[in-house]
Amino acid sequence: MTNTPQNAPGPDYGQGNKYGTAAYSPQQSFDQGKPAKVGTLRQVAIGLLILSVISSVFSMILSRTQAFQNDMIEYFKGVGLSAEQAEQSVQGGFVGPLLGLVVTVALYVVVIAGLSKEKNWARILGIVLAILSIVGMIGSFGIGAVTGVPLMAGGALGAVSLVLTVVQLALTIYWLVLAFNGRVAEWFKSAR
């Protein structure tokens, strides 16, 4: 065993000092860079846009199928409408759903463009729209459960529509989790 003086420096492991850390430098930046979740937030928003368009178009097609219309006519008759009133209730136009789709796409494009430019207002607008979307989806499930509207009207196509809605709901919740992430929020606030 060798005798080393107590004040002798320890072995140099290429770390800068005996404690294994780099020496302090006032010019050293502690900025950790852009969090990966910032990019994920934008990618999920793009995925939601695509899923929303697919789901909306699918719902418009589904509402025109005979199976869906028959299920809804039976439902409306069951709540007390005459056969004629029930048939009129399921005969909807394409203008309303198409206008809704155009507005939805426009809002997604605004949010995605803002996220691409790292604008905090886009994150906040996305949060508001995601919350409204979740409330709407859960509300439609709740209304269906309370009123007895068949959630899978239209048979197999209705089931696919329901699955698309559930996936969209889950992805929207994931987007909110990302948007509320502390590092993501800080990044957007500091990226002005």
pLDDT, residue 105, reads: 95
* Mean pLDDT, contiguous 10-residue spans, the chain (192 residues): 52 53 55 81 96 87 78 78 79 76 95 94 96 87 57 67 88 96 90 66
The amino acid that residue 157 corresponds to is L
DSSP class of residue 23? P
Residue in this structure with the two tokens 């809002």, named with its chain if needed: 107
Alpha helices by DSSP H, listed for the chain, are 36-63, 66-78, 83-90, 95-116, 120-147, 156-180, 182-190
pLDDT, residue 29, reads: 44
Q: Which of 29, 17, 19, 104 is nearest to 59 (CA)?
A: 104
The amino acid that residue 30 corresponds to is F
pLDDT, residue 190, reads: 86
Q: Which of 170, 157, 166 is nearest to 57 (CA)?
A: 157
